[in-house]
Amino acid sequence: MSADALAQVLPDGDVRGLAHAFATFTEATRRLEHEYGVLRRHVDQLTLELEEKNRRLAASLERERQLEAAALRQSRLAAMGEMAALLAHEVRNPLGAMELFTGLLLQDLREQAEPLRLARQVAAGIADLNHVVTNLLEFTRARQSAEAADGTMDCRAVADEALRYARDVIDANGIDVRRDFGPGDCVARGDATLLRPALLNLVRNAVQAMPTGGTLTVTVARDGARTGVTVADTGPGIPDDVRDAIFTPFFTTRVKGTGLGLTVVRELVTALGGVVDVASTAGGAAFTVWLAAA
């Protein structure tokens, strides 16, 4: 009923009282709506804060879980590393004798084609075993090298040495080697005795990625405050689904692989204060070791 209709049926005093009551009710309703809005916003804010705290708590618990898992993994790796080092030391002595005697046998059989071929296969097997043993020892040594970043080294000379040490597998696989050594200073901070086995592993991996032949390119160049050594192959590249796992200890996609080669590379380069970048396409893979320039 409208105010005019009320005015016709109610006395003036009652109309004024009723109008006042309506006004009071309306004001009370407005205040309640305002207070409800304030309360609703406050509740929403508290809900957001609670969700944020829950998210942080969950992230903290997940981080703690990851740290515990990493600590357990590191502990297991350390124990495995110590055991591997002991075994490697025990194996290296007889292996060295086998390598020496096989070398003498190769000299004696140089005029006998078939026995020489068989002896070379034995020598290649011994070289592979020696490489595995070396990786086991380097894996342990890299973790114990507290002063590996001290000193300086010519990365071009170290790359040349790595190629020379890998000459047997390079020749055996018919690999074409290209050197792209940049001009100027290519000196980096670090210990060459750690960089050399890292590059040797990268070279051997590149060769193994090209079993039917291909091109191995080693590039050394300075880029501002850092020096880079890149080992690139023309193999099939690295599948996307395993790229994140290639540096994991004992992970390998090869039937005869140990899964330590790239792990050793990362450990040695980390000990040198550097990083390893990986690039891969269908036309091959490239690993670049970046070190602080001296």
Where residue 246 sits, what CATH number does that domain have?
A: 3.30.565.10
Tell whether 170 and 274 lie within a shared domain: yes
Reading the block at residue 73, the tokens are 């993994």
Tell whether 243 and 107 lie within a shared domain: no
Tell whether 140 and 166 lie within a shared domain: no
pLDDT of the residue at 75: 73
pLDDT in tens, 135-182: 767 666 665 554 555 689 999 999 999 999 888 889 888 999 999 997
Q: Inform me whether the pLDDT recorded for 5 exceeds 80.
A: no
Reading the block at residue 293, the tokens are 């320039």
How many domains in the chain? 2
Tell whether 119 and 208 lie within a shared domain: no
Q: Inform me whether the pLDDT recorded for 216 exceeds 90.
A: yes
The Cα 252–Cα 285 span in angstroms is: 16
pLDDT of the residue at 146: 47
Tell whether 282 and 201 lie within a shared domain: yes
pLDDT of the residue at 256: 61
Tell whether 108 and 156 lie within a shared domain: no
Beta bridge partners of 275: 290
Q: Alpha-carbon torsion 237, 171, 175, 204, what sign? A: positive
Q: Inform me whether the pLDDT recorded for 237 exceeds 50.
A: yes
Which domain-ending residue is among 144, 160, 180? Answer: 144
Tell whether 283 and 197 lie within a shared domain: yes
Q: DSSP for the chain, please give it.
A: --HHHHHHHS-HHHHHHHHHHHHHHHHHHHHHHHHHHHHHHHHHHHHHHHHHHHHHHHHHHHHHHHHHHHHHHHHHHHHHHHHHHHHHHHHHHHHHHHHHHHHHHHHHTTT-HHHHHHHHHHHHHHHHHHHHHHHHHHHHHHHH-TTTTSSEEEHHHHHHHHHHHTHHHHHHTTEEEEEEEPSS--EEES-HHHHHHHHHHHHHHHHHT-TT-EEEEEEEEEETTEEEEEEE--S----TTTGGGTTSTT--SSTT--S-HHHHHHHHHHHTT-EEEEEEETTEEEEEEEEEB-
Dihedrals φ, ψ of 249, to 5°?
A: -55, 135
Tell whether 1 and 117 lie within a shared domain: yes
In this structure, are strands 214-223 and 175-181 parallel, antiparallel, or unpaired?
parallel
On average, the pLDDT of the chain sits at 82
Which domain-ending residue is among 144, 170, 186? Answer: 144
pLDDT over 90, % of the chain = 26
pLDDT in tens, 83-94: 766 777 677 778
Tell whether 246 and 127 lie within a shared domain: no
The Cα 289–Cα 98 span in angstroms is: 34
Reading the block at residue 186, the tokens are 């290519």
Tell whether 164 and 294 lie within a shared domain: yes
Reading the block at residue 96, the tokens are 């060295």
pLDDT of the residue at 2: 47
Q: Inform me whether the pLDDT recorded for 183 exceeds 60.
A: yes
pLDDT band at residue 243, thresholds of 50, 70 and 90?
confident
Tell whether 124 and 192 lie within a shared domain: no
pLDDT of the residue at 128: 75
Which domain-ending residue is among 102, 124, 144? Answer: 144
Q: Inform me whether the pLDDT recorded for 264 exceeds 60.
A: yes
Domain span including residue 220:
149-294
Tell whether 160 and 231 lie within a shared domain: yes
